[in-house]
Structures are given as C-alpha cells and as structure tokens.
Amino acid sequence: MEEVIKINGGKLLDGNIKVSGAKNATVALMPAAVLAYQPVKIAGLPDISDVDSLKEILQFLNVKVNELNESELIIDPSEMENKVLDIEAVGKLRASYYFMGALLGKYHKVVMRMPGGCHLGPRPINLHLKGFEALGAKVDDNGEFISITAEQLTGTRIYLDFASVGATINIIMAAVYAKGRTIIENAAREPEIIDCITMLNKMGAVIRGGGTSKIVIDGVERLGGCFHEIIPDRIEAGTYIILSAAMANHVCIENVIPYHLDSLISKLKEMGVNIVTALDHVDVYSSPSLSCVDITTQPYPGFATDLQSPLSALMTKAQGTSTILETIYPERFKACEQLEKMGATVKVDIPQAEITGSCQLHGCDVTATDLRCGAALVIAGLMADGTTTIHEIKHIDRGYQDIVSKLRNLGADIWREHID
Ligand code: EPU
C-alpha cells in the first residue's frame, strides 16, 4: 500500500492559510540546542517529518526531548552522550550534518554516517569540512562514515568560496567554544542563519554580523538554556503565495515576514499578480492575466532556489515564454519533467529551463522526486483539469505541515489516499 495525494483541480481558493515555523531554521536550531548544558525551549516548531528524524537523533544521543505540545518542545542535553551517529534517521535528511558542527564544537569529536536529503544533483560538504579543518580539526572520510576530531579548536579567519547556508551555520556551531575569534568571510545571509545566531546568542554565545557576509564569533566557555521562537517559513509562505497567484479568488497568507520574500513578491508583481503585503501577512487576489518572467536563482536575498520549482508551475499559466537560470543546484529541474507529463511545454538545458505558458495542465500520475518538486506538483494539480495523483509524498511531508488540510480549508479538492 502506498499513500498518495490526489487533487481534483480547477477549484477557486478562498480564505486564510497560516504558515508554520521555518523548516530550514528548525533543522539547525535543534542540533544547535545540544551546545548548551541546560534545557533549551523552542516554540513555533513545524509538525514535519524532518523534525521527527531530528528528535530521534537527539534521543539516541541521550538528549531529553520533552514535547509540551505540537509546536513547543524542551531539549535538555544535560545527560547527553556523544555516540557514533550510525542510526537510519541521519540518512533521512540533509540537515543531520549540523550535528557535525554541534558535536565537534562541544566534544571536539564527532563520528557519523553521511547525511541524506533531497537529490538535487551534487551536494558536497567540502566547505563545511574545510572550515572545521581551519579551526584545527582533522577530518577522516571513508565514504561511509565521517570522523572529525580536534585536540583544540582555535578561532581563525575562514573565507567561504561559496556563500553556503550549511557551511556558515556549521562553522558557527563549531566555533562558539573555540579559543579566540573566528571570522567567516563571504558568509551566507539567509534569515534562517540569523535565527540560529539569535538563539545561540540567547544561550550565551557572542556572534556578531548575522545577516551580513562577515560573521564574527568570539569563543565562550559555556552555553546555557534559553527560550526561542522560530521565524515563519519563507519557502512555505512563498509556496502558498504562488499557488494563490494561480488559483485564488482571495487568499490571505498569515504568519509571514514579507521582507524575507521580497525577491519572489517583486517577480510576482512583474508577472501581474494582484498581491498586497502587510506587516505579517500577504493578500493575494485573482489576477486577470499573467505575463512571462525570467528568474535567476541566487543566495539570499536573491531569488530562492527552493521557490524555483513551485514558480515553474505558475509559469505554465503565464503568457509567453519564461526562463529559469538555476545557479545553486544546476540540475534541479525534476519538477519540469513532471510538469511536462501534465502537458506543460518545457525545454530543459541544464542549468536553464524555458517554460512556454498559456497552457492548460491535465491531471495524471506524477512523482514528487524531492520536496520542492512535490510543492510544484501540488500547485500544478490545483491548476489542472481532472485528477492529479502525486506519488512519493514522503518528500512533501518532510517540509509542509498539514498541507492537505490547510488547502482543503481554502476550498481545494485535495485528499490523501492509500492505493495498492
Ligand atoms: N556547496 C559546496 N560545498 C559545500 C556546501 C555547498 O559546493 O560544502 C554548494 C552546493 O553544492 C550548492 C551551493 O553550494 O551548489 C549551495 O549550498 P548550501 O550549502 O547553501 O545549501 P544547503 O545548506 O545544503 C540549504 C537548504 C536547502 C536550500 C539551500 C540553498 C537546509 C537544510 N537546506 O541547503 O533547502 O535549497 O540551502 O538555499 O537548510 C529545501 O528546503 O528544499 C532545501 C533543499
């Protein structure tokens, strides 16, 4: 038996939809909490399967995870043990690599199997490892397990060849207990990094420059507990804004920091989407016609690679030919193949794609090959005539809390079903 999502498309959407806490902040904050020696309380947690995998890893390390309710938990690392991370949960998500920085920072030693995550083409972690080495660690990678050890970690100046989100956060975590000052040049500037720095500073770390490309970390002796509320998920919000642009009569997307979505909102306005931003929500109204648009994915504050696939679904509706240049993950065009099955006119020439619009999509069987491809297929299914059946929905459940019930509340005809 396989669980699928089915959608009868063509329904106009109306109502309010609330965005959950940011997945890509959460997956860094949960490992970061183990750097403390006291309990850390985190609120605004999304109810997604990546969080379940991280809870499993924490519990394996003898960290107490006390769930207060669906969105709040206390992580208590006071009896934590640094064990070899060889459990299956490590392979279920990319972000398990944050235990490298956290355990190296706290214990000067980490041994773990390779992290998993969405297949978006090559996803090396050489910049993470170079950062650890610059701090004084020795890395041994036998293809199956990575072992990182250090006699002592000493602050230094690290230049990132690429403004990598994961490397920036991982180096910060390894450096919070290092001796002296660490400076990361060409650091990534994503809001999720700022959120992680905010929590670490509440725990007693001394980290300056979050949100800029130069981050300065002054090592401290010991981190304590704190309370932290996670920022809203800008990619989930962006997904709901895009699907509203496709199918809304009037949808209000709540719990949003619109500033985090400036690049998307500008592009949607360029397409002719009727969109109004407020302090913490965004209203999207039906738009009489949409025009084609060209996007280039870039590190924040540029156009997010994670919103490229969802936007490609909307591009099938716009007049003319839209283009996508993918500079972060050049092979991230699996959604285009699936959209083609639904009748889209798509030409992929890695790292670019062209989508010719004014096209009516038709429901059929499609596969969510990764998380954001899944989001694109949900949007496409809402736009298509007939029934769309989405397979491999475990990818969608990794990052979108209650997507089916949230969309049903807007009037979408969408449901989960077990099939043979
Ligand atoms: N890169 C390297 N070496 C490294 C690290 C990265 O060459 O050591 C390259 C990557 O191959 C890629 C680029 O640098 O070409 C960007 O990678 P980055 O490290 O910034 O990405 P990440 O930390 O692995 C996070 C998100 C992704 C999101 C990217 C880009 C998490 C857990 N994941 O990945 O989210 O696409 O940043 O913004 O935060 C998703 O949510 O669907 C997702 C894939």
Q: Which of 20, 23, 24, 194 to mutate to test the pocket of ligand 1 (most atoms within 8 A of CB)?
A: 24
**306 C-alpha to ligand 1 centroid (Å):** 10
* Same-domain pairing of 95 and 13: no
Residue of the nearest CA to atom 12 in ligand 1? 328
* Same-domain pairing of 144 and 167: yes
Does the CB atom of residue 123 touch ligand 1 within 6 A?
A: yes
Does the CB atom of residue 165 touch ligand 1 within 6 A?
A: yes
3-class secondary structure, 89? helix
Give the domain-ending residue among 229, 252, 278: 229
**273 C-alpha to ligand 1 centroid (Å):** 29
| pLDDT value for 117 | 63
- What's the mean per-residue pLDDT of the chain? 96
CA dist 128 → 159, 175, 184, 187, 392 (Å):
11, 12, 12, 12, 30
How many distinct structural domains can be found in the chain? 2
Measure the CA–CA gap between 183 and 113, rounded to whole angstroms: 28
Does the CB atom of residue 236 touch ligand 1 within 6 A?
A: no
H-run or E-run covering 258: none
pLDDT in tens, 365-382: 999 999 999 999 999 999
| pLDDT value for 123 | 77
392 contacts 374 by C-beta, under 8 angstroms: yes
* Same-domain pairing of 379 and 390: yes
* Same-domain pairing of 31 and 117: yes
pLDDT in tens, 274-302: 999 999 999 999 988 999 999 999 999 99
Give the domain-ending residue among 229, 264, 289: 229
* Same-domain pairing of 78 and 193: yes
3-class secondary structure, 81? coil
Does the CB atom of residue 331 touch ligand 1 within 6 A?
A: no
H-run or E-run covering 54: helix 49-60
Residue of the nearest CA to atom 5 in ligand 1? 125
* Same-domain pairing of 99 and 115: yes
Residue 334 DSSP code: H
**118 C-alpha to ligand 1 centroid (Å):** 10
3-class secondary structure, 280? coil
19 contacts 253 by C-beta, under 8 angstroms: yes
* Same-domain pairing of 110 and 215: yes
Counting atoms of ligand 1 from 1, which one is nearest the CA of 123? 11
Residue of the nearest CA to atom 7 in ligand 1? 124
* Same-domain pairing of 211 and 173: yes
Residue of the nearest CA to atom 43 in ligand 1? 306
**51 C-alpha to ligand 1 centroid (Å):** 18
Measure the CA–CA gap between 17 and 308, rounded to whole angstroms: 21
Does the CB atom of residue 157 touch ligand 1 within 6 A?
A: no
**166 C-alpha to ligand 1 centroid (Å):** 6
Residue of the nearest CA to atom 6 in ligand 1? 164
Give the domain-ending residue among 199, 229, 259: 229
Does the CB atom of residue 371 touch ligand 1 within 6 A?
A: yes
Going by their DSSP bridges, the two strands 413-419 and 13-18 should be labelled as unpaired
Domain of 272? 2-20+232-419
Measure the CA–CA gap between 196 and 231, rounded to whole angstroms: 10
pLDDT in tens, 223-239: 999 999 999 999 999 99
pLDDT in tens, 83-102: 999 999 998 888 999 999 99
* Same-domain pairing of 305 and 224: no
CATH number of domain containing 151? 3.65.10.10
Does the CB atom of residue 305 touch ligand 1 within 6 A?
A: yes
* Same-domain pairing of 242 and 380: yes
Residue 17 DSSP code: E
How many other CB atoms are there within 10 angstroms of residue 229's CB atom? 15
* Same-domain pairing of 262 and 390: yes
H-run or E-run covering 120: none
Does the CB atom of residue 334 touch ligand 1 within 6 A?
A: no
Residue of the nearest CA to atom 40 in ligand 1? 306
Does the CB atom of residue 161 touch ligand 1 within 6 A?
A: no
Q: Which of 164, 236, 261 to mutate to test the pocket of ligand 1 (most atoms within 8 A of CB)?
A: 164
pLDDT tens-digit profile, the chain (420 residues) = 999 999 999 999 999 999 999 999 999 999 999 999 999 999 999 999 999 999 999 999 999 999 999 899 999 999 999 999 999 999 888 899 999 999 999 999 999 998 876 676 777 899 999 999 999 999 999 888 999 999 999 999 999 999 999 999 999 999 999 999 999 999 999 999 999 999 999 999 999 999 999 999 999 999 999 999 999 999 999 999 999 999 999 999 999 999 999 999 999 999 999 999 999 999 999 988 999 999 999 999 999 999 999 999 999 999 999 999 999 999 899 999 999 999 999 999 999 999 999 999 999 999 999 999 999 999 999 999 999 999 999 999 999 999 999 999 999 999 999 998
* Same-domain pairing of 312 and 395: yes
Active site residue 118: yes
